[in-house]
Amino acid sequence: MTGDDVASLAREFLAAHDPGDRLEFLRARFDAGLAWVHFPEGLGGLGLPRELQLVVERELAGTPQLDTGVQGIGLGMAAPTILAFGTEEQKKRFLRPLWTGEEIWCQLFSEPGAGSDLATLATRAVRDGDEWVVDGQKVWTSGAHHSRWAILVARTDPDVPKHRGMTYFVCDMHAPGVEVRPLRQITGEAEFNEVFLTGVRLGDDLRLGEIGDGWRVAQMTLMNERVAIGGAPVRRGGGMMGVVTETWRSRPELRTHDLHRRLLRLWVESEVTRLAGTRLREQLSAGQPGPEGSGMKLAFASINQALSGLDVELRAEEGLEYDDWSFRRSESVDFFGRGPGYRYLRAKGNSIEGGTSEILRNIVAERVLGLPSEPRVDKDVPWKDLPR
């Protein structure tokens, strides 16, 4: 099927469905295979190359859109993992409401004692007949407060080295024993949460992948996460750059020579990073994200931080103000919204969330460049014997 075929398919779909009813329209779009054309038929796709999705997006630009700020984790991380490792029943059950936004997803990976060293995580899942009983604490969970489901990694075998004793689950966020507490951040609001899991019972049909294979399944999620954070298509001069240049152009009295030089350098860096992302997507159009996506996320974080800092500096008096420090739940993840102070502070998270920039540099060095790892003392020791 060519781009023209896909375009006419999308136009036929649009002619036959009323975009006025948002939810029904999105459901029908999923059923027509126009949700993500590179997914298989029957699962929201048509089994086509990934780049043809752009054709669909162009044709359906004026119709109801997904709320990527709220659905980001489901779309960017849970969905590709479910597609790769889920059973047919799991794919059928989860993907449609995930895509339409009827069910929101969050991610239960990081723990207070397991951040960069995620594989040392301590949340236990113990088999009990056809069920698993989960106990532990997760943290940095964006959107847990409105999530229906979570992707969860838990320890199922403490007697083997840490990378081998984990299993990946879908966690029912409505199950008894799941407690979500907001975690206030430097921006003043609570976008993240702590999630306490106490005797949470999950059916074995919520297990994703084999028992003990959780680390491999999680890698799929994490690589997709980095592409989702750093690899999203932007137009030239868009994203955070667009926010800054709007002020720059409309308020000439704020400009200085020093800011001009720095802005130009960042513009060039943003543009070459955008081009590298475009090139990466061309390479990956048929396949899966590789470790190269980590590089894009590194660049994205650094540029976002520099630009949002420049924005505060540029605005002078206005940069000294802050829109709202009140402690409240955020409705969605938003890198580019609100005031310059919020954006500056929120951008600090870009080099921490989804793999710190330090860990990403290790990944690039080891998996892309083939450099040896640091000597490790924790690789062949059973998890239960590791110092904590």
Partner 1 sequence: MTLLYTEVEEELRASVRDLLADRCGPDAVLKRIESDAPYDMDLWKTLAHQIGVAGLLVPEEYGGAGATAREVAVVLEELGRAVAPVPFLTSAVLATKALLEVGEEDLVRELASGDVTAALAVPLSASPYRPLPETVTVGEDGTLSGQVRAVAGADVADVLLVPVGAELYRVAAEHARVEVVPSLDLTRPIATVTFAGAPATALGRFDARRVLAFGAGLLASEQLGVAEWCLDTTLAYIKERHQFARPIGSFQAIKHRMADLWLDVVRARAAARNAADLLAASSAPASDPPAPSGASGGAGADAELAAAVAAAWCSEATLHVAEESVQLHGGIGMTWEHPVHLYLKRAKAAQIALGAPGAHEDAVAELADLPGPV
Question: Taking the complex as a whole, how short is the minimal distance between the CB of residue 97 and partner 1, in angstroms?
Answer: 37
Question: Taking the complex as a whole, how short is the minimal distance between the CB of residue 272 and partner 1, in angstroms?
Answer: 4
**CA 71 from centre of chain:** 9
| Beta-bridge partner residues of 329 | 190
| Beta-bridge partner residues of 125 | 134
Strand ranges for the chain from DSSP E: 105-108, 124-128, 131-139, 149-155, 166-172, 178-183, 192-203, 207-208
Half-sphere exposure of 143 (CA within 13 A, CB side): 22
Selected binder of partner 1 within 1, 23, 126, 264 (CB under 8 A): 264
Of residues 236 through 255, those in contact with partner 1 by CB under 8 A are 237, 245, 248-249, 252-253, 255
Of residues 278 through 317, those in contact with partner 1 by CB under 8 A are 278-279, 282-283, 292, 295, 298-299
Question: Taking the complex as a whole, how short is the minimal distance between the CB of residue 252 and partner 1, in angstroms?
Answer: 5
Of residues 345 through 364, those in contact with partner 1 by CB under 8 A are 358, 360-362, 364
Selected binder of partner 1 within 88, 89, 174, 257 (CB under 8 A): 257
| 196 contacts: CB under 8 Å, gap ≥ 6 | 137, 178, 179, 181
- Residues annotated as catalytic are 225
Q: Between residues 84 and 276, which has the closer beta carbon with respect to partner 1?
A: 276
| Beta-bridge partner residues of 167 | 154
CA distance 257 to 262: 9
Selected binder of partner 1 within 88, 89, 317, 374 (CB under 8 A): 374
Under the binding rule (CB under 8 A), the answer on residue 126 touching partner 1 is: no
| Environment class of 372 (CB within 10 Å of its CB; exposed 0-12, middle 13-18, buried 19+) | exposed
Selected binder of partner 1 within 1, 268, 286, 316 (CB under 8 A): 268
Selected binder of partner 1 within 271, 324, 334, 385 (CB under 8 A): 271
Q: Between residues 35 and 229, which has the closer beta carbon with respect to partner 1?
A: 229
Selected binder of partner 1 within 370, 377, 387, 388 (CB under 8 A): 370
| Beta-bridge partner residues of 126 | 133
At residue 130, φ and ψ (nearest 5 deg) are -90, 10
Is 168 in contact with 108 (CB distance < 8 Å)? no
Question: Taking the complex as a whole, how short is the minimal distance between the CB of residue 304 and partner 1, in angstroms?
Answer: 15
3-class DSSP state of 144: helix
Number of residues that bind partner 1 (CB under 8 A): 45
Selected binder of partner 1 within 235, 373, 377, 388 (CB under 8 A): 373
Closest to 134 in 3D by CA, of 162, 167, 91: 167
Q: Between residues 89 and 253, which has the closer beta carbon with respect to partner 1?
A: 253
The residues binding partner 1 (CB under 8 A) are 237, 245, 248-249, 252-253, 255-257, 260-261, 263-265, 267-269, 271-273, 275-276, 278-279, 282-283, 292, 295, 298-299, 358, 360-362, 364-366, 368-375
